[in-house]
Amino acid sequence: MRSVTTTPAPDAAVDRRRRVPRTDAVLADPRLVDALARLDRATVKAAVVRAQERARAGEVAPEEVAAVAAASLPVRPSSLQPVLNATGVVLHTNLGRAALADAAVRAMADAAGAVDVEFDLGTGSRARRGRGTLAALREAVPEAEDALVVGNGAAALVLAATALAAGREMVISRGEMVEIGDGFRLPALLESTGARLAEVGTTNRTTVADYRKAVGERTGFVLKVHPSNFRVVGFTGEATTRDLAAADLGVPLVVDTGSGLLADDPVLPGEPSVRRALADGADLVTSSGDKLLGGPQAGLVLGRADLVERLRRHPLARAFRVDKTTLAALEATLRAPTTPTTQALHADPERLRARAEALAAGLRAAGVSAEAVPSDGAVGGGGAPGLPLPGWAVAVDEAWAQPLRVGERPVVARVAGGRTLLDLRCVPPADDTAVEAAVLAVARAPRPPGSG
C-alpha cells in the first residue's frame, strides 16, 4: 500500500494518532471476534496492529481500523486455496492430483476426531489398524491375497526394496529407469535403500533372456516399472509381466503400475491396471492412491500374502503409515459410486460441448466475447502421455488467464493459440456458473493501463 505523501499539520497528526482505537477495543469488534473464532490470537492481533499503524500513518481513517484489520485476515485457517480446475488436465500435479469424491470428504471429516481406527468397539480391545480400508481394497482387487497402505507410491517402492532386497539386488530393465517428476528418479529412490540395481536390456528393448541372465543368488526381486509419463515408439520390445511370470525366474516379480487404476479401462488402452498385473502373474503390485484411483495421497501394495506380510513387519512400515483420515478417504473412494477422476475421464464430449456453448452464450449475452471451441484434455499426473481426451472449452481473452487465477474464486485455465481456454472437463457442472461469474468479474474489472 502506498503511503500518503502530503505532510499534514502537526496538530492533525497528533489528533489522528489519539483517535486510533486501542487494541483491546478493536479486538472486541464483532468482525474480529468472528476472526478469533477461526484463527489464532497472535495472527488476529498482528492484523490489528498493522491496521493501527496504517491509521497512525494516515493511510486509513481511525474508525476503519477494525474493518481494515478484519479484511486483511484470511477467510480460511489454511493458506491452501480451493481453485476451479479449468485446465482440462484430470490429475494436475500442481493442483493436488485427484479431486476427492464427496463420500471421501465426508469420511475424512467423520474420522477427524476420536475414531475406532485401531479399536474394536465390541470387545474394547485393540484391533487391526485400517481393517475396513484393507477389506475394501481386497474386495476391489480379488486377485490380491493381502493389501497394505503406505504414504505414497514412492514409499511403497522404498518399502518393497528395503524389505525384499536390502543388501541385495533388484533386476530392472534400462527402459524402465524413469524420473517420476520434479527431479525424483526411481533408480536413485530405490538405491537409497541400500539395495543395488542390476540393469538389464537397453532403453528400447529388453527380453526375458536379459532378465534370466541377471537373476541369481543376490537377486531380491525383479522389478517392472510402468514408464507412465513417456512413450517409447519404433523399434521397441519389452518382456511383459506375463512373459516374466511365465519365465518362472525363481524370485518375486514386483510391478509398479503407478496410476492405481484398479481394473482395465477402455478409455485408457495403454494403462496397466492392478488387477491385470496380478492376473498376469505379478507377485506384488505397487501404485499411488491419488492418481487414477481418484483417492487421497497414498501408496498401495497388493499381492501375495507372505510378501505383503514381510513389508508390513518391516520397521520402516511404521514410518510410512498413513493417518486415520487417509484410511477413511481411501475406503470411501473405493466404495463410492464414482469419483471426480472417473467422471472427468469419461466425460461425454457432447455434454462438454453443450456446457461450453451455454457458458459462452451466457458470457456473450453479458457483452463478453467468448466462443466454445474443441479442446483436448489430458490425464496428467504423469499418466497416459500423448493420450488426448477430446472435449470442449470456452475461449476468452488471452490476458484474462492471470486475473482469473487471482480472483475471489480462482480459476486455473490454459493459454493456447493466443486465447485463454476454459476447459470444463474437470469443473463440476454445478460450478459452471462460478466460472461464468469469475470471467464476468475479470471482464468488468478496470484494466491496468497498457494491458490492451
Ligand X SMILES: *Cc1c(COP(=O)(O)O)cnc(C)c1O
**341 touches ligand X by CB under 6 A:** no
Site size for ligand X, by CB under 6 A? 12
Is the CB of 17 or the CB of 174 nearer to ligand X? 174
228 lines the binding site for ligand X (CB under 6 A):
yes
Among 52, 133, 152, 342, binds ligand X (CB under 6 A): 152
Q: Which residues partner with 395 through β-bridges?
A: 371, 421
| 256: contact with ligand X by CB under 6 A | yes
Asked if 42 and 64 count as a contact pair (C-beta separation under 8 A), the reply is no
| Binding-site member from 89, 98, 225, 359 for ligand X (CB under 6 A) | 225
Range in contact with ligand X (rule: CB under 6 A) among 64-72, 149-157, 216-224, 235-243: 149-157
Minimum Å gap between C-beta 188 and ligand X is 13
> Judged by CB under 6 A, which stretch of 225-233, 323-331, 344-352, 362-370 contacts ligand X?
225-233
Nearer to ligand X, 277 or 370 (CB): 277
Torsion, Cα 173 174 176 177, to 10 degrees, reads 130
Which residues partner with 372 through β-bridges?
394
Q: Among residues 52 and 286, whose Cβ is nearest to ligand X?
A: 286
* Cα–Cα dist 106/109, whole Å: 5
Task: Find the binder of ligand X among 206, 288, 333, 341 (CB under 6 A).
Answer: 288
Of 438, 111, 446, 154, the residue nearest 297 (C-alpha): 154
- Report if residue 382 touches ligand X, rule: CB under 6 A: yes
Q: Which amino acid is at 146?
A: D
Q: Where are the alpha helices (DSSP H) in 369-417?
A: 401-405
Among 180, 274, 360, 363, binds ligand X (CB under 6 A): 180
Interface with ligand X, residue 271, by CB under 6 A = no
Site for ligand X contains 101 (CB under 6 A)? no
355 backbone dihedrals φ, ψ, rounded to 5°: -65, -45
Residue 258 near ligand X by CB under 6 A: yes
Yes or no: say if 251 and 221 are a contact pair by the CB < 8 Å rule.
Answer: yes
Per-residue binding letters, 296-335, with ligand X (x by CB under 6 A):
---x------------------------------------
- Of 108-137, binders to ligand X (CB under 6 A) are none
Evaluate the CA torsion angle 337, 340, 341, 344 in order and state its sign: positive
For ligand X, the closer of residues 226 and 414 by Cβ is 226
CB 223, min distance to ligand X, A? 10
Q: Cβ(342)–Cβ(259) under 8 Å?
A: no
For residues 359 and 260, give the distance between their C-alpha atoms in angstroms, rounded to a whole number.
34
- Which residue's Cβ has the minimum distance to ligand X? 153
Instruction: Confirm or reject binding of residue 193 to ligand X (CB under 6 A).
Output: no
**154 forms part of the interface with ligand X (CB under 6 A):** yes
Contacts for 118 with CB less than 8 Å, ≥ 6 apart: 126, 127, 128, 129, 130
Q: How far is the CB of 256 from ligand X (least distance, A)?
A: 5
Segment (H or E) for 335: helix 324-335
Nearer to ligand X, 35 or 165 (CB): 165
Q: Interior CA angle at 435 toward 431 and 439, to 5°?
A: 165
Produce one character per residue of 212-235: b if its CB has 16 or more CB atoms within 10 Å, e if not: bebbeeebbbbbbbbbbbeeeeee
Do residues 14 and 56 lie in contact, with contact meaning Cβ atoms separated by under 8 Å?
Answer: no
Least Å from the CB of residue 88 to ligand X: 20
Is the Cβ of residue 226 or residue 324 nearer to ligand X in the bound state?
A: 226
> Which residues here bind ligand X, judged by CB under 6 A?
152-154, 180, 225-226, 228, 256, 258, 288, 299, 382
